[in-house]
Amino acid sequence: MAKILVIGDDLRSFLAVVRSLGRAGHEVHVLPERLNSISLSSSFIKKIHKIAPAYSDLDRWLMLLTQLDQNEAFDYIIPCTDQAMVPLMLKEHGINSDKIATPGDRAFSTFIDKWETHELAVKLGIARPEVSMIDTPHDTHHYPLFLKPKSSITLDKLSGKQMVVKIGSMQELEANLSSLDHHEEYFLESSFEGIGVGVSVLAWAGEVSHAFQHERVSEGIAGGSSIRKSVPLSKVMLKDVKKLAEATQLNGVAMFEFRYNPSTKAHCLLEVNARFWGSLPLALFAGVDFPSLYIESLQRKKACAKNFSYTAGKISRALTASIYDLNRSLEQKNSFSKAVSLVFHGLKAAFHHLINKATIDTQSKDDPAPFEQEWASLKKMINNKIRKLLGRTAIDRKTAHHQKCSLSSKPLKNILVLCYGNICRSPFLGQYLQNHFDDNQISVISAGFHMPEARMSPPDAKAASEKLGQSLGAHRSRYASPSLMEKADLILYFDHKNEDDIQAFYPESFSKSLNVGDFLNQPQDIVDPYGKGRDAFDACYAQIEAAGAKIIEYIERSHNG
Protein backbone atom coordinates (compact mmCIF):
# COMPACT_ATOMS: atom_id res chain seq x y z
CA MET A 1 0.00 0.00 0.00
CA ALA A 2 1.12 3.56 -0.73
CA LYS A 3 1.78 6.60 1.45
CA ILE A 4 -0.12 9.46 -0.17
CA LEU A 5 -0.36 13.22 0.47
CA VAL A 6 -3.68 14.77 -0.60
CA ILE A 7 -3.66 18.58 -0.96
CA GLY A 8 -6.97 20.34 -0.35
CA ASP A 9 -9.77 20.45 2.21
CA ASP A 10 -13.17 20.71 0.46
CA LEU A 11 -16.19 18.54 1.19
CA ARG A 12 -16.51 17.12 -2.33
CA SER A 13 -13.45 16.08 -4.30
CA PHE A 14 -10.93 16.18 -1.44
CA LEU A 15 -13.06 14.22 1.04
CA ALA A 16 -14.02 11.69 -1.65
CA VAL A 17 -10.34 11.13 -2.53
CA VAL A 18 -9.38 10.72 1.13
CA ARG A 19 -12.15 8.18 1.73
CA SER A 20 -11.43 6.22 -1.44
CA LEU A 21 -7.72 5.89 -0.72
CA GLY A 22 -8.28 5.14 2.96
CA ARG A 23 -10.73 2.36 2.16
CA ALA A 24 -8.20 0.89 -0.26
CA GLY A 25 -5.72 0.59 2.61
CA HIS A 26 -3.40 3.46 1.66
CA GLU A 27 -1.84 5.68 4.33
CA VAL A 28 -3.44 9.08 3.77
CA HIS A 29 -1.76 12.33 4.83
CA VAL A 30 -3.34 15.69 4.03
CA LEU A 31 -2.22 19.28 3.52
CA PRO A 32 -5.24 21.58 3.94
CA GLU A 33 -5.54 25.30 3.42
CA ARG A 34 -8.14 25.76 6.16
CA LEU A 35 -7.36 23.98 9.41
CA ASN A 36 -11.01 24.08 10.54
CA SER A 37 -12.30 22.28 7.44
CA ILE A 38 -14.99 19.72 8.21
CA SER A 39 -13.23 17.24 5.92
CA LEU A 40 -10.32 16.98 8.34
CA SER A 41 -12.52 15.04 10.76
CA SER A 42 -12.40 12.01 8.43
CA SER A 43 -11.26 8.85 10.19
CA PHE A 44 -9.28 7.87 7.08
CA ILE A 45 -6.73 10.66 7.62
CA LYS A 46 -3.50 9.42 9.17
CA LYS A 47 -1.85 12.82 9.65
CA ILE A 48 -2.65 16.49 9.01
CA HIS A 49 0.25 18.71 7.94
CA LYS A 50 0.30 22.50 8.13
CA ILE A 51 1.90 24.93 5.69
CA ALA A 52 0.68 28.48 5.08
CA PRO A 53 -1.31 28.68 1.78
CA ALA A 54 0.62 28.91 -1.48
CA TYR A 55 -0.79 32.35 -2.27
CA SER A 56 0.68 33.82 0.94
CA ASP A 57 4.26 33.05 -0.16
CA LEU A 58 4.57 30.71 -3.13
CA ASP A 59 8.32 30.11 -2.99
CA ARG A 60 8.13 29.33 0.72
CA TRP A 61 5.17 27.00 0.15
CA LEU A 62 7.10 25.04 -2.48
CA MET A 63 10.19 24.90 -0.27
CA LEU A 64 8.24 23.62 2.75
CA LEU A 65 6.29 21.15 0.61
CA THR A 66 9.57 19.81 -0.77
CA GLN A 67 10.94 19.46 2.77
CA LEU A 68 7.75 17.72 3.87
CA ASP A 69 8.06 15.25 1.01
CA GLN A 70 11.70 14.57 1.88
CA ASN A 71 10.84 13.98 5.54
CA GLU A 72 7.77 11.82 4.94
CA ALA A 73 8.87 10.06 1.72
CA PHE A 74 5.44 10.09 0.09
CA ASP A 75 4.81 7.67 -2.74
CA TYR A 76 2.31 10.02 -4.38
CA ILE A 77 1.04 13.58 -4.02
CA ILE A 78 -2.47 14.41 -5.21
CA PRO A 79 -3.36 18.11 -5.67
CA CYS A 80 -7.16 18.43 -5.50
CA THR A 81 -7.19 22.16 -6.29
CA ASP A 82 -5.92 24.34 -9.11
CA GLN A 83 -4.22 26.49 -6.45
CA ALA A 84 -1.94 23.52 -5.75
CA MET A 85 -1.81 22.04 -9.26
CA VAL A 86 -0.78 25.25 -11.05
CA PRO A 87 2.42 25.98 -9.07
CA LEU A 88 3.40 22.31 -9.01
CA MET A 89 3.17 22.27 -12.82
CA LEU A 90 4.65 25.69 -13.59
CA LYS A 91 7.25 26.38 -10.89
CA GLU A 92 10.54 24.62 -10.21
CA HIS A 93 10.66 22.52 -7.05
CA GLY A 94 12.59 19.60 -5.63
CA ILE A 95 9.80 17.02 -5.75
CA ASN A 96 10.03 14.09 -8.16
CA SER A 97 7.38 14.94 -10.77
CA ASP A 98 6.59 11.24 -11.30
CA LYS A 99 4.98 11.05 -7.87
CA ILE A 100 2.68 14.07 -8.42
CA ALA A 101 -0.73 13.15 -9.81
CA THR A 102 -0.99 15.55 -12.76
CA PRO A 103 -2.66 15.19 -16.17
CA GLY A 104 0.61 15.54 -18.06
CA ASP A 105 2.21 18.64 -19.56
CA ARG A 106 0.15 18.91 -22.74
CA ALA A 107 -3.18 18.12 -21.09
CA PHE A 108 -2.47 20.61 -18.31
CA SER A 109 -1.42 23.47 -20.60
CA THR A 110 -4.44 22.88 -22.85
CA PHE A 111 -7.18 22.43 -20.27
CA ILE A 112 -6.03 25.10 -17.80
CA ASP A 113 -6.54 27.61 -20.62
CA LYS A 114 -10.17 27.79 -21.79
CA TRP A 115 -9.16 29.48 -25.03
CA GLU A 116 -6.67 26.73 -25.92
CA THR A 117 -9.33 24.15 -25.05
CA HIS A 118 -11.69 25.92 -27.44
CA GLU A 119 -9.18 25.98 -30.28
CA LEU A 120 -8.35 22.29 -29.89
CA ALA A 121 -12.04 21.33 -29.74
CA VAL A 122 -12.77 23.23 -32.94
CA LYS A 123 -9.78 21.61 -34.65
CA LEU A 124 -11.10 18.16 -33.65
CA GLY A 125 -14.61 18.93 -34.90
CA ILE A 126 -16.17 19.07 -31.41
CA ALA A 127 -19.17 21.37 -31.00
CA ARG A 128 -18.51 24.57 -29.06
CA PRO A 129 -20.53 27.73 -28.34
CA GLU A 130 -19.63 30.72 -30.49
CA VAL A 131 -16.80 32.78 -29.03
CA SER A 132 -15.30 36.20 -29.70
CA MET A 133 -12.54 38.37 -28.33
CA ILE A 134 -13.24 41.38 -26.14
CA ASP A 135 -12.46 43.92 -28.88
CA THR A 136 -15.42 42.75 -31.00
CA PRO A 137 -18.01 45.59 -31.32
CA HIS A 138 -20.39 45.15 -28.39
CA ASP A 139 -23.54 45.94 -30.37
CA THR A 140 -22.99 42.86 -32.56
CA HIS A 141 -23.37 40.37 -29.69
CA HIS A 142 -26.44 38.31 -28.92
CA TYR A 143 -27.29 38.43 -25.22
CA PRO A 144 -27.14 36.75 -22.78
CA LEU A 145 -23.52 35.68 -23.12
CA PHE A 146 -20.65 34.82 -20.80
CA LEU A 147 -17.51 36.78 -19.98
CA LYS A 148 -14.87 34.10 -19.37
CA PRO A 149 -11.29 34.30 -18.12
CA LYS A 150 -8.89 32.25 -20.24
CA SER A 151 -7.61 30.73 -17.00
CA SER A 152 -9.50 30.70 -13.71
CA ILE A 153 -6.27 30.37 -11.71
CA THR A 154 -2.86 31.80 -12.61
CA LEU A 155 0.46 31.92 -10.78
CA ASP A 156 0.07 35.61 -9.97
CA LYS A 157 -3.57 35.19 -8.85
CA LEU A 158 -3.55 32.01 -6.80
CA SER A 159 -5.68 33.41 -3.98
CA GLY A 160 -8.88 33.90 -5.91
CA LYS A 161 -10.61 32.14 -8.75
CA GLN A 162 -11.40 34.34 -11.75
CA MET A 163 -15.12 33.79 -12.16
CA VAL A 164 -17.27 33.41 -15.27
CA VAL A 165 -19.84 36.23 -15.43
CA LYS A 166 -23.22 36.00 -17.15
CA ILE A 167 -23.89 39.17 -19.15
CA GLY A 168 -27.47 40.18 -19.98
CA SER A 169 -26.95 43.38 -21.98
CA MET A 170 -24.42 45.62 -23.69
CA GLN A 171 -24.56 47.95 -20.67
CA GLU A 172 -23.69 45.07 -18.32
CA LEU A 173 -20.82 44.04 -20.57
CA GLU A 174 -19.35 47.53 -20.66
CA ALA A 175 -19.71 47.87 -16.88
CA ASN A 176 -17.88 44.58 -16.29
CA LEU A 177 -15.15 45.36 -18.81
CA SER A 178 -14.47 48.70 -17.12
CA SER A 179 -13.40 46.85 -13.97
CA LEU A 180 -10.91 44.59 -15.80
CA ASP A 181 -7.25 45.54 -16.12
CA HIS A 182 -6.25 43.04 -18.81
CA HIS A 183 -8.90 42.49 -21.48
CA GLU A 184 -6.64 40.12 -23.37
CA GLU A 185 -7.04 37.59 -20.53
CA TYR A 186 -10.79 37.24 -21.24
CA PHE A 187 -13.11 36.28 -24.07
CA LEU A 188 -16.86 36.15 -24.73
CA GLU A 189 -18.87 32.97 -25.15
CA SER A 190 -22.44 32.66 -26.40
CA SER A 191 -25.20 31.03 -24.37
CA PHE A 192 -26.32 27.47 -25.14
CA GLU A 193 -29.78 26.38 -24.01
CA GLY A 194 -29.73 23.10 -22.10
CA ILE A 195 -28.72 21.27 -18.94
CA GLY A 196 -25.28 20.77 -17.45
CA VAL A 197 -23.68 17.39 -18.13
CA GLY A 198 -20.30 16.09 -17.00
CA VAL A 199 -18.30 13.20 -18.45
CA SER A 200 -15.54 12.16 -16.05
CA VAL A 201 -12.71 9.88 -17.11
CA LEU A 202 -9.50 8.14 -16.15
CA ALA A 203 -6.95 7.88 -18.95
CA TRP A 204 -3.41 6.66 -19.46
CA ALA A 205 -1.27 8.00 -22.32
CA GLY A 206 -4.42 9.43 -23.89
CA GLU A 207 -6.42 6.19 -23.75
CA VAL A 208 -9.61 6.31 -21.67
CA SER A 209 -10.08 3.28 -19.41
CA HIS A 210 -13.02 4.44 -17.27
CA ALA A 211 -15.81 6.95 -17.83
CA PHE A 212 -18.80 8.21 -15.87
CA GLN A 213 -21.56 10.67 -16.76
CA HIS A 214 -23.79 12.83 -14.58
CA GLU A 215 -26.27 15.60 -15.17
CA ARG A 216 -27.30 18.49 -12.99
CA VAL A 217 -30.69 18.04 -11.34
CA SER A 218 -30.78 21.61 -10.04
CA GLU A 219 -28.58 24.61 -10.71
CA GLY A 220 -27.97 27.41 -8.25
CA ILE A 221 -28.56 31.07 -8.99
CA ALA A 222 -24.84 31.70 -9.05
CA GLY A 223 -24.26 28.74 -11.34
CA GLY A 224 -22.84 25.42 -10.23
CA SER A 225 -25.00 22.62 -8.96
CA SER A 226 -25.91 21.12 -5.61
CA ILE A 227 -27.88 18.04 -6.78
CA ARG A 228 -26.59 15.65 -9.46
CA LYS A 229 -27.72 12.36 -10.97
CA SER A 230 -25.76 9.55 -12.64
CA VAL A 231 -26.96 8.87 -16.19
CA PRO A 232 -25.92 6.43 -18.96
CA LEU A 233 -22.90 7.39 -21.02
CA SER A 234 -23.62 9.32 -24.19
CA LYS A 235 -21.74 7.66 -27.05
CA VAL A 236 -21.44 10.99 -28.85
CA MET A 237 -20.05 12.89 -25.87
CA LEU A 238 -17.72 10.02 -24.95
CA LYS A 239 -16.39 10.09 -28.51
CA ASP A 240 -15.61 13.80 -28.10
CA VAL A 241 -13.91 13.13 -24.78
CA LYS A 242 -11.75 10.36 -26.25
CA LYS A 243 -10.64 12.69 -29.05
CA LEU A 244 -9.51 15.33 -26.54
CA ALA A 245 -7.85 12.78 -24.26
CA GLU A 246 -5.88 11.30 -27.15
CA ALA A 247 -4.92 14.68 -28.60
CA THR A 248 -3.54 15.89 -25.26
CA GLN A 249 -2.16 12.51 -24.14
CA LEU A 250 -4.18 12.83 -20.94
CA ASN A 251 -2.49 10.90 -18.15
CA GLY A 252 -4.88 10.91 -15.21
CA VAL A 253 -8.36 12.11 -14.34
CA ALA A 254 -10.47 14.85 -15.87
CA MET A 255 -14.07 16.02 -15.98
CA PHE A 256 -15.38 17.29 -19.33
CA GLU A 257 -18.22 19.76 -18.89
CA PHE A 258 -20.92 19.84 -21.58
CA ARG A 259 -24.23 21.57 -22.19
CA TYR A 260 -26.97 19.31 -23.57
CA ASN A 261 -30.34 20.28 -25.05
CA PRO A 262 -32.85 17.41 -24.52
CA SER A 263 -35.24 18.84 -27.13
CA THR A 264 -32.79 19.14 -30.03
CA LYS A 265 -30.34 16.45 -28.78
CA ALA A 266 -27.56 18.93 -29.50
CA HIS A 267 -24.62 19.32 -27.16
CA CYS A 268 -21.48 21.41 -26.87
CA LEU A 269 -18.29 21.31 -24.82
CA LEU A 270 -17.85 24.09 -22.26
CA GLU A 271 -14.55 23.38 -20.48
CA VAL A 272 -12.37 20.68 -18.91
CA ASN A 273 -11.15 20.26 -15.32
CA ALA A 274 -8.00 18.12 -15.43
CA ARG A 275 -8.07 17.18 -11.74
CA PHE A 276 -10.56 15.66 -9.32
CA TRP A 277 -13.93 17.40 -9.60
CA GLY A 278 -16.91 18.38 -7.44
CA SER A 279 -19.23 15.54 -8.49
CA LEU A 280 -16.67 12.86 -7.52
CA PRO A 281 -18.77 11.64 -4.52
CA LEU A 282 -21.56 10.72 -6.95
CA ALA A 283 -19.17 8.71 -9.15
CA LEU A 284 -18.06 6.69 -6.12
CA PHE A 285 -21.69 6.21 -5.03
CA ALA A 286 -22.53 4.92 -8.53
CA GLY A 287 -19.62 2.48 -8.54
CA VAL A 288 -16.65 4.18 -10.22
CA ASP A 289 -13.78 4.50 -7.73
CA PHE A 290 -11.64 6.98 -9.67
CA PRO A 291 -9.05 7.79 -6.94
CA SER A 292 -8.13 4.18 -6.21
CA LEU A 293 -8.07 3.34 -9.91
CA TYR A 294 -5.81 6.34 -10.55
CA ILE A 295 -3.31 5.18 -7.91
CA GLU A 296 -3.44 1.68 -9.41
CA SER A 297 -2.52 3.13 -12.82
CA LEU A 298 0.34 5.12 -11.31
CA GLN A 299 1.66 2.06 -9.49
CA ARG A 300 1.46 -0.16 -12.58
CA LYS A 301 2.56 2.63 -14.93
CA LYS A 302 -0.11 1.59 -17.37
CA ALA A 303 -3.86 1.80 -17.88
CA CYS A 304 -6.25 -0.21 -15.75
CA ALA A 305 -8.50 -2.75 -17.44
CA LYS A 306 -11.26 -0.89 -19.27
CA ASN A 307 -14.63 -0.73 -17.54
CA PHE A 308 -17.43 1.65 -18.48
CA SER A 309 -20.16 0.17 -16.30
CA TYR A 310 -21.79 1.85 -13.29
CA THR A 311 -25.25 2.36 -11.83
CA ALA A 312 -27.38 5.04 -13.47
CA GLY A 313 -30.14 6.83 -11.56
CA LYS A 314 -28.11 7.49 -8.41
CA ILE A 315 -28.45 10.96 -6.88
CA SER A 316 -26.06 12.91 -4.68
CA ARG A 317 -26.46 16.34 -3.15
CA ALA A 318 -24.06 18.80 -1.59
CA LEU A 319 -25.96 19.63 1.59
CA THR A 320 -24.38 22.98 2.45
CA ALA A 321 -24.48 24.15 -1.18
CA SER A 322 -28.18 23.21 -1.34
CA ILE A 323 -28.95 25.31 1.74
CA TYR A 324 -27.02 28.28 0.37
CA ASP A 325 -28.78 27.98 -3.00
CA LEU A 326 -32.16 27.96 -1.26
CA ASN A 327 -31.20 30.92 0.91
CA ARG A 328 -30.02 32.96 -2.09
CA SER A 329 -33.21 32.08 -3.97
CA LEU A 330 -35.40 33.31 -1.13
CA GLU A 331 -33.35 36.51 -0.81
CA GLN A 332 -33.72 37.44 -4.48
CA LYS A 333 -37.02 39.03 -5.42
CA ASN A 334 -37.45 37.26 -8.76
CA SER A 335 -36.26 33.85 -7.63
CA PHE A 336 -39.33 32.41 -5.90
CA SER A 337 -39.81 29.84 -8.65
CA LYS A 338 -36.15 28.80 -8.29
CA ALA A 339 -36.66 28.39 -4.54
CA VAL A 340 -39.78 26.28 -5.10
CA SER A 341 -37.83 24.13 -7.56
CA LEU A 342 -35.00 23.63 -5.06
CA VAL A 343 -37.45 22.66 -2.31
CA PHE A 344 -39.18 20.22 -4.70
CA HIS A 345 -35.90 18.60 -5.69
CA GLY A 346 -34.88 18.48 -2.04
CA LEU A 347 -38.03 16.57 -1.10
CA LYS A 348 -37.60 14.29 -4.10
CA ALA A 349 -33.98 13.59 -3.12
CA ALA A 350 -35.10 12.82 0.44
CA PHE A 351 -37.50 10.19 -0.94
CA HIS A 352 -34.77 8.68 -3.11
CA HIS A 353 -32.53 8.61 -0.06
CA LEU A 354 -35.04 6.39 1.71
CA ILE A 355 -34.95 3.86 -1.13
CA ASN A 356 -31.13 3.94 -1.37
CA LYS A 357 -31.01 5.87 -4.65
CA ALA A 358 -29.68 9.08 -3.15
CA THR A 359 -26.97 10.17 -0.76
CA ILE A 360 -25.37 13.32 0.61
CA ASP A 361 -21.78 14.04 -0.43
CA THR A 362 -20.47 13.99 3.13
CA GLN A 363 -22.52 11.01 4.33
CA SER A 364 -20.78 7.69 4.94
CA LYS A 365 -21.50 4.87 7.39
CA ASP A 366 -17.81 4.07 7.82
CA ASP A 367 -16.82 7.74 8.23
CA PRO A 368 -19.68 9.61 9.98
CA ALA A 369 -17.82 12.59 11.48
CA PRO A 370 -17.75 14.90 8.39
CA PHE A 371 -21.52 14.61 7.90
CA GLU A 372 -22.15 15.22 11.60
CA GLN A 373 -19.90 18.28 11.54
CA GLU A 374 -21.57 19.59 8.40
CA TRP A 375 -24.90 19.50 10.24
CA ALA A 376 -23.26 21.32 13.15
CA SER A 377 -21.85 23.97 10.82
CA LEU A 378 -25.28 24.56 9.29
CA LYS A 379 -26.68 25.10 12.78
CA LYS A 380 -23.86 27.57 13.39
CA MET A 381 -24.74 29.37 10.16
CA ILE A 382 -28.33 29.75 11.37
CA ASN A 383 -27.11 30.99 14.75
CA ASN A 384 -24.88 33.54 13.02
CA LYS A 385 -27.87 34.86 11.07
CA ILE A 386 -29.84 35.16 14.31
CA ARG A 387 -26.85 36.81 15.97
CA LYS A 388 -26.65 39.27 13.09
CA LEU A 389 -30.29 40.21 13.72
CA LEU A 390 -30.19 40.25 17.53
CA GLY A 391 -26.59 41.23 18.25
CA ARG A 392 -23.92 39.24 20.06
CA THR A 393 -25.36 36.64 22.45
CA ALA A 394 -24.84 36.49 26.21
CA ILE A 395 -22.46 33.55 25.70
CA ASP A 396 -20.47 35.58 23.14
CA ARG A 397 -20.22 38.49 25.60
CA LYS A 398 -19.20 36.25 28.51
CA THR A 399 -16.48 34.60 26.42
CA ALA A 400 -15.25 37.99 25.23
CA HIS A 401 -15.13 39.29 28.82
CA HIS A 402 -12.93 36.40 29.96
CA GLN A 403 -10.66 36.85 26.94
CA LYS A 404 -10.34 40.60 27.58
CA CYS A 405 -9.32 39.97 31.19
CA SER A 406 -6.76 37.37 30.16
CA LEU A 407 -5.16 39.50 27.45
CA SER A 408 -4.95 42.72 29.48
CA SER A 409 -2.81 41.06 32.14
CA LYS A 410 0.30 42.10 30.17
CA PRO A 411 1.16 45.21 28.13
CA LEU A 412 -0.29 45.03 24.63
CA LYS A 413 2.39 46.47 22.34
CA ASN A 414 1.73 44.96 18.90
CA ILE A 415 -1.84 45.39 17.70
CA LEU A 416 -3.09 43.68 14.52
CA VAL A 417 -6.47 44.72 13.07
CA LEU A 418 -8.03 42.19 10.69
CA CYS A 419 -10.96 42.11 8.30
CA TYR A 420 -11.54 40.17 5.09
CA GLY A 421 -10.11 42.47 2.42
CA ASN A 422 -8.13 45.05 4.43
CA ILE A 423 -9.57 47.88 2.36
CA CYS A 424 -12.61 49.04 4.40
CA ARG A 425 -12.91 48.30 8.12
CA SER A 426 -9.46 47.26 9.34
CA PRO A 427 -7.48 50.12 7.74
CA PHE A 428 -9.87 52.68 9.25
CA LEU A 429 -9.59 51.27 12.78
CA GLY A 430 -5.87 50.68 12.31
CA GLN A 431 -5.30 54.31 11.38
CA TYR A 432 -7.62 55.53 14.15
CA LEU A 433 -5.64 53.62 16.77
CA GLN A 434 -2.21 54.44 15.33
CA ASN A 435 -3.02 58.16 15.30
CA HIS A 436 -3.71 57.94 19.03
CA PHE A 437 -0.69 55.78 19.86
CA ASP A 438 1.71 57.87 17.83
CA ASP A 439 4.82 56.71 19.66
CA ASN A 440 7.30 53.85 19.71
CA GLN A 441 5.61 51.92 22.52
CA ILE A 442 2.59 50.64 20.60
CA SER A 443 2.51 49.46 16.98
CA VAL A 444 -0.74 49.11 15.04
CA ILE A 445 -0.92 47.24 11.72
CA SER A 446 -3.97 46.27 9.66
CA ALA A 447 -4.26 43.27 7.34
CA GLY A 448 -6.76 40.90 5.72
CA PHE A 449 -7.29 37.39 4.41
CA HIS A 450 -7.98 38.32 0.79
CA MET A 451 -5.27 38.42 -1.86
CA PRO A 452 -3.75 39.97 -3.92
CA GLU A 453 -2.06 42.65 -1.86
CA ALA A 454 -1.67 46.38 -2.60
CA ARG A 455 -5.36 47.00 -3.36
CA MET A 456 -6.73 50.48 -2.65
CA SER A 457 -9.70 51.34 -0.47
CA PRO A 458 -12.90 52.03 -2.48
CA PRO A 459 -14.05 55.64 -3.06
CA ASP A 460 -16.86 55.39 -0.48
CA ALA A 461 -14.36 54.29 2.17
CA LYS A 462 -12.05 57.20 1.39
CA ALA A 463 -14.89 59.72 1.49
CA ALA A 464 -16.38 58.39 4.73
CA SER A 465 -12.99 58.29 6.45
CA GLU A 466 -12.11 61.84 5.38
CA LYS A 467 -15.39 63.06 6.88
CA LEU A 468 -14.13 61.73 10.23
CA GLY A 469 -10.66 63.21 9.91
CA GLN A 470 -8.88 60.08 8.66
CA SER A 471 -7.34 59.45 5.25
CA LEU A 472 -7.23 56.10 3.45
CA GLY A 473 -5.84 57.56 0.23
CA ALA A 474 -2.38 56.10 0.71
CA HIS A 475 -3.56 52.78 2.14
CA ARG A 476 -2.75 49.55 0.29
CA SER A 477 -4.00 46.14 1.42
CA ARG A 478 -1.74 43.66 3.19
CA TYR A 479 -2.15 39.89 3.68
CA ALA A 480 -2.39 38.46 7.20
CA SER A 481 0.87 36.52 7.04
CA PRO A 482 2.07 34.00 9.64
CA SER A 483 4.72 36.44 10.88
CA LEU A 484 2.15 39.20 11.48
CA MET A 485 -0.16 36.83 13.35
CA GLU A 486 2.66 35.44 15.49
CA LYS A 487 4.05 38.85 16.42
CA ALA A 488 0.70 40.34 17.49
CA ASP A 489 -0.13 40.68 21.20
CA LEU A 490 -3.74 41.57 20.38
CA ILE A 491 -5.73 40.76 17.24
CA LEU A 492 -8.92 42.71 16.56
CA TYR A 493 -11.55 41.48 14.09
CA PHE A 494 -15.08 42.51 13.11
CA ASP A 495 -17.46 39.62 12.43
CA HIS A 496 -18.02 35.86 12.56
CA LYS A 497 -16.46 35.40 9.09
CA ASN A 498 -13.22 36.97 10.31
CA GLU A 499 -13.47 34.75 13.40
CA ASP A 500 -13.84 31.66 11.21
CA ASP A 501 -10.84 32.71 9.09
CA ILE A 502 -8.63 33.12 12.16
CA GLN A 503 -9.67 29.71 13.45
CA ALA A 504 -9.17 28.20 10.01
CA PHE A 505 -5.73 29.57 9.16
CA TYR A 506 -4.23 30.45 12.55
CA PRO A 507 -6.08 28.57 15.31
CA GLU A 508 -3.18 29.11 17.71
CA SER A 509 -3.76 32.89 17.46
CA PHE A 510 -7.45 32.87 18.32
CA SER A 511 -6.79 33.04 22.08
CA LYS A 512 -5.39 36.56 21.62
CA SER A 513 -8.22 37.76 19.36
CA LEU A 514 -11.17 40.01 20.23
CA ASN A 515 -14.25 41.11 18.27
CA VAL A 516 -14.28 44.90 17.85
CA GLY A 517 -18.07 44.82 18.21
CA ASP A 518 -17.73 43.57 21.79
CA PHE A 519 -16.48 47.04 22.75
CA LEU A 520 -19.81 48.63 21.75
CA ASN A 521 -22.52 49.39 24.31
CA GLN A 522 -24.67 46.82 22.51
CA PRO A 523 -22.19 44.12 21.40
CA GLN A 524 -22.65 43.09 17.77
CA ASP A 525 -20.71 42.19 14.65
CA ILE A 526 -19.63 45.21 12.63
CA VAL A 527 -20.66 44.17 9.14
CA ASP A 528 -18.62 44.75 6.00
CA PRO A 529 -19.88 47.88 4.18
CA TYR A 530 -18.15 46.96 0.92
CA GLY A 531 -20.41 47.54 -2.09
CA LYS A 532 -23.31 48.83 0.02
CA GLY A 533 -22.95 52.55 -0.64
CA ARG A 534 -21.75 55.63 1.22
CA ASP A 535 -24.40 55.48 3.96
CA ALA A 536 -23.24 51.99 4.93
CA PHE A 537 -19.65 53.25 5.27
CA ASP A 538 -20.75 56.23 7.38
CA ALA A 539 -22.67 53.94 9.74
CA CYS A 540 -19.84 51.39 9.88
CA TYR A 541 -17.14 53.95 10.64
CA ALA A 542 -19.31 55.54 13.35
CA GLN A 543 -19.51 52.13 15.02
CA ILE A 544 -15.77 51.60 14.66
CA GLU A 545 -15.01 55.01 16.20
CA ALA A 546 -17.30 54.26 19.15
CA ALA A 547 -15.62 50.90 19.71
CA GLY A 548 -12.19 52.36 19.01
CA ALA A 549 -12.41 54.81 21.91
CA LYS A 550 -12.99 51.92 24.33
CA ILE A 551 -10.26 49.84 22.68
CA ILE A 552 -7.82 52.67 23.37
CA GLU A 553 -8.81 52.65 27.05
CA TYR A 554 -8.43 48.86 27.14
CA ILE A 555 -4.92 48.95 25.62
CA GLU A 556 -3.84 51.79 27.93
CA ARG A 557 -5.04 49.85 30.99
CA SER A 558 -2.84 46.92 29.95
CA HIS A 559 0.18 49.26 30.18
CA ASN A 560 -0.87 50.90 33.44
CA GLY A 561 -1.46 47.60 35.24
Residues with catalytic roles: 419, 425, 528
CB-CB contact of 17 with 38 (8 Å): no
Q: Is the CA virtual torsion 503, 505, 510, 513 positive or negative?
A: negative
SS3 assignment, position 7:
strand
Nearest to 437 by CA among 555, 557, 547, 561: 555
Strands 315-317 and 358-360: parallel
Please give the Cα distance from 285 to 317 (Å, whole number).
11
Give the helix ranges, DSSP H, for 129-234: 170-178
Cα dist from 145 to 160, 215, 266, whole Å: 23, 22, 18
Question: For residue 55, which of 333, 377, 452, 423 has the smallest C-alpha distance?
Answer: 452
How far separated are the first and last CA of the chain, in Å rounded?
59
Q: Regarding beta strands 76-79 and 165-167, do their DSSP bridges make them parallel or antiparallel, or are they unpaired?
A: unpaired
Q: What is the rounded distance in angstroms from the CA atom of residue 447 to the CA atom of residue 114?
A: 34
Residues 444 and 292: their CA atoms lie apart, in Å, by 50
- Cα dihedral 549, 555, 558, 559, rounded to 10, equals -100
Strands ordered across the beta sheet of 165-167: 131-133, 186-190, 145-149, 165-167
Tell me the C-alpha to C-alpha distance, in Å, between residue 296 and each of 95, 246, 280. 21, 20, 17
Show Cβ contacts of residue 279 under 8 Å, excluding neighbours closer than 6 positions.
12, 198, 200, 214, 225, 228, 255, 316
Residue 543, helix vs strand vs coil: helix
